[in-house]
Amino acid sequence: MESLTHFLDQVWFVILALFLLLYVMLDGFDLGVGILSLTSSDEQRRSILMTSLGNVWDANETWLVLMGGALFGAFPLAYATILNALYIPIFGMIFGLIFRAVAFEFREHAENKLLWNFAFGAGSFLAALSQGFALGGVLQGIAVDELGHFTGGMWDWLDWRSLLVAITLIQGYVLIGSTYLIMKTEGELQIIHYRTAKLAALTTLVGAILITITTPFVSENIRTKLFHEPEIYVFAVIPILGLLFVGLLLKSLKQREETTPFIWTILIFLITFIGLGLIVFPYIIPPSITIYQAAASPSALVFMITFIGFLIPIMLFYNIYNYVVFRGKVIES
């Protein structure tokens, strides 16, 4: 019975990781396009950028809502503790997403679009920055007591490590947003995003290297896990694959390919996410509370997984159908 319970906990850890990965990849290019809209030189180009998101951005955010609900149901202790510890960055993320959504709708009906253009870009930047600080706060560890309740301060998440993670995540979002726009635009605007994609790929790579180098020195738990056999061989393969994908991405950008840069970027996000998942597992509140300690009752997990089992295929089908229907380029009018 205990092994079955542990298996359920692990399944839910994987499900939550899947929801987070889908959100980061799908809403990631939304946020990246929003950040890039701040650099657009004229209203026509900015309109093309926003039109490219018009029919997909709200569906992409659904995965974040689903992940929050699943975390609350499957690991209620983690939900309460993480939200308590990261209250400010999570609030900043929610505010940024709301601000962006309101700006997106209001801009369509405004005569003077300048304010809402800035609001859309600023909301996207704030959401991305807040997500980076939240991720950095989790990776550096959350102070808890023996019951898993948060005992740290309001600003524990804010230091140079979380700032490095936040800046790198923003660059990653700009990268995936640029490769998405390469597929959706043409002409001079497409050429611009070949350049932004190359620059973002290089800055993201630098940030990832700095995080990889510095993390083992500042976290004893992660250092122990990274250099323990046989895990050390797995963790050695991940950065090698990451460098390979970055090289292939830069090559595809140089050759002016349209679809493959986005595919290589998705693979970069995927391999990075796998590495983060392996580093964190089995902790749901690093570095002390595991998924087995924070999980809900087995009956609750079984009930939820039955419901989620029907929901995931429906949502995936809707997302895929949405992208198929609205495929193609956004043409200047």
Give the separation between CA 198 and CA 66, rounded to whole angstroms: 33
Q: Which CATH superfamily is domain 1-326 in?
A: Formate dehydrogenase/DMSO reductase domain (1.20.1630.10)
pLDDT at 35: 92
Cβ 259 vs Cβ 197: under 8 Å: no
pLDDT at 305: 86
pLDDT at 333: 53
pLDDT in tens, the chain (333 residues): 567 678 888 999 999 999 999 888 888 888 998 899 888 777 777 777 877 776 777 777 788 888 888 899 899 999 999 999 999 999 999 999 998 888 888 887 777 778 888 888 899 999 999 999 999 988 888 888 888 888 888 898 988 989 999 999 999 999 999 999 998 888 888 899 999 999 999 999 999 999 888 887 777 777 777 777 777 778 888 889 999 999 999 999 999 998 899 999 999 999 999 888 888 888 898 888 889 988 888 888 888 888 887 888 888 888 888 788 777 776 665
Chain-centroid distance, C-alpha 235: 21
pLDDT at 214: 85
Partners of 289 in the β-ladder:
285
Of 187, 198, 178, give the one whose Cα is nearest residue 253: 198
pLDDT at 287: 84
Q: Quote the pTM value.
A: 0.91
Cβ 99 vs Cβ 165: under 8 Å: no
